[in-house]
Amino acid sequence: MDHFPGTLAIQQRVLTPYRAVFFDALAKACDGGAGVFAGLPRHEESIATTDILQVARYTGARNIHILNGAFYLCWQPGLTNWLEATNPDALIVEANPRYISTPAAVRWMKAKRRPVLGWGLGAPPISGPFASLRKARRVSFLSKFDALITYSRRGADEYSALGYPSERIHVAPNAASPRPSAPLPTRPPVFIGKPCVLFVGRLQARKRIDTLLQACADLPREIQPRLVIVGDGPERAALETLAKTVYPSAEFTGAKHGPDLVPFFNAADLFALPGTGGLAVQEAMSHGLPVIMGQGDGTNNDLIRPANGWQLSRPEILVETLREALQDAPRLRRMGAESYRIVSEEINLETMVEVFVRALNQLTQ
């Protein structure tokens, strides 16, 4: 893997545990290391955060949250002071105009003729109050970056549609896991007993596990699966109560982590997440599982494709999707093999780091 011959600074609103793994990997690829400046979310956001990095250097920010909804802003005082103390050769910031400390940080870097990369989801159409003004502000904000990195081809197209030069846009698919270290699991060409549908993750309303329970119940009895729900969270008690009425055979295992998850992935035939989020999706794919997942912000468009799974345009079609999937074991095996190929060759932490390093090196050559 190529290295960036300098010191990197990274601004984040918050630092999540799964992103910390990526920043440590990126820091390893920087000869001068990397530092991360991040603060805390609002309490009601229920976002898990960490201040522990193994390789990168963490500096805690004070996030000042202003207003809500479409008018939300975040101010991180001390960002330019941190840059002065760390004196980086390049800076990566979240490409979000709601973070009002960013322009000063960009100006600081530009004064020293050092590059700034914006990193974001994309730029979906703006509607609602002051839409034209907010769009103009977004265009002006993005124009200050030397390059943009986004999670998906959809995000790249959205930035291009705003007039940002396409040759300065890099796509680094959002990865939460390294390349699989184990070979593709071998599964029989037919189901042995009932097919097994697996969910792994935090039990939250946005994951739509209630929809999964109801969909399994609405299937013809002869193809109703063994449903295994691995995880814990605020919705667990309500979901277990619902399952007793709707789908009593559903199995709730509680939270499992690391090696304890492997037997569940290997015993499954299909991974299902009807809602949004879900860091376990890539881990499921590394165990050769096809995936059913709710459509979100486009970051999973490159991950879940017709060859390896289904994206639900609306929760109501989950029943028919399960019916289609659970009546064709050989097809599920082929789709699972494609999932494994995608996370082995295309979407993993290693390739994500490579895109970032390549973008940095192009700007500093």
Burial track 304-342 (b if 16+ CB lie within 10 A, e otherwise) = bbeebbbbbeebeebbebbeebbeebeebbebbbbbbeb
User: Are residues 114 and 167 located together in one domain of the fold?
Assistant: yes
**In the predicted structure, residue 61 carries a pLDDT above the cut 90:** yes
Categorize the per-residue pLDDT at 213 as very low, low, confident or very high, splitting at 50, 70 and 90. Answer: very high
pLDDT of 358 above 70: yes
3, part of any domain: no
| Cβ–Cβ < 8 Å for 360, 117 | yes
CATH number of the domain where residue 260 is located: 3.40.50.2000
Claim to verify: residue 12 and residue 86 sit in the same structural domain: yes
Sort strands 116-120 and 147-150 into parallel, antiparallel or unpaired.
Answer: parallel
Indicate whether 41 and 100 sit together in one domain: yes
Same domain, 18 and 148: yes
- Return the number of other C-beta atoms located less than 10 Å from residue 91's C-beta: 25
Mean pLDDT score of the chain, rounded to an integer?
Answer: 95
Parent domain of 39: 8-175+348-364
- For the full predicted model, state whether its pTM sits above 0.85: yes
Asked if 50 and 136 sit in the same domain, the reply is yes
Torsion sign over Cα 99, 100, 103, 106: negative
Residue bearing tokens 């999670």: 151
pLDDT digits (tens, 9 = 90+) for 119-142: 999 998 888 888 888 899 999 999
Write out pLDDT tens, residues 266-314. 999 999 999 987 789 999 999 999 999 998 766 688 899 999 999 998 8
DSSP assignment, residue 116?
E
Is 28 in the same domain as 115?
Answer: yes
With left for phi above 0 and alpha for psi between -120 and 50, is residue 277 left, alpha or beta?
A: left
CB 64 within 8 A of CB 74: yes
Alpha-carbon separation of residue 284 from 205, 309, 315, 351 (angstroms): 21, 12, 21, 18
Tell me whether residue 188 is in a domain.
Answer: no
CA distance 57 to 36: 6
pLDDT value at position 297? Answer: 60
Domain annotation covers residue 1:
no
Q: Could you report the per-residue pLDDT of 8-51, keeping only the tens digit for each?
A: 999 999 999 989 999 999 999 999 999 999 999 998 887 889 99
Is residue 52 in some structural domain?
yes
**CA–CA separation, 299 vs 172, rounded Å?**
10
Q: Same domain, yes or no, for 71 and 139? A: yes
Q: Are residues 285 and 346 in contact, defined by beta-carbon separation less than 8 angstroms?
A: no
Do 341 and 360 lie in one domain? The reply is no
- 74: tokens are 């975040």
Mean pLDDT to the nearest integer, 195-211: 95
Q: Which candidate, 365, 363, 347, places its Cα nearest to that of 172?
A: 347
Whether the Cβ atoms of residue 275 and residue 268 lie closer than 8 Å to each other: no
Q: Do 161 and 283 share a structural domain?
A: no
Task: Examine the domain organization and report whether 164 and 202 are in the same domain.
Answer: no
Q: Are residues 331 and 356 in the same domain?
A: no
Q: What is the pLDDT of residues 136-165, one digit of tens each?
A: 999 999 999 999 999 999 999 999 999 999
How many domains in the chain? 2
For 161-199, how does the pLDDT look when each residue is reduced to its tens digit (9 = 90+)? 999 999 999 999 999 889 999 999 999 999 999 999 999
Q: What are 340's two structure tokens?
A: 């494994």
Q: How confident is the model at residue 259 (pLDDT cuts 50, 70, 90)?
A: very high
Q: What is the mean pLDDT of residues 346-352?
A: 96
Task: Say if 181 falls within a structural domain.
Answer: no
- pLDDT > 70: what percent of the chain? 99
Q: Is the pLDDT of residue 234 over 70?
A: yes
How many C-alpha atoms does 325 have within 13 Å on its Cβ side? 33
Sequence-ordered strand ranges (E) for the chain: 8-14, 34-39, 57-60, 64-66, 73-75, 90-94, 116-120, 147-150, 169-171, 196-200, 226-230, 251-254, 270-273, 291-294, 309-312
- Pinpoint the alpha helices (H) of 66-111: 79-86, 102-111
For the chain, give percent helix, strand, coil, nearest 5.
Answer: 40, 20, 40
Instruction: Answer whether residue 183 is part of any domain.
Output: no
Domain shared by 163 and 210, yes or no:
no
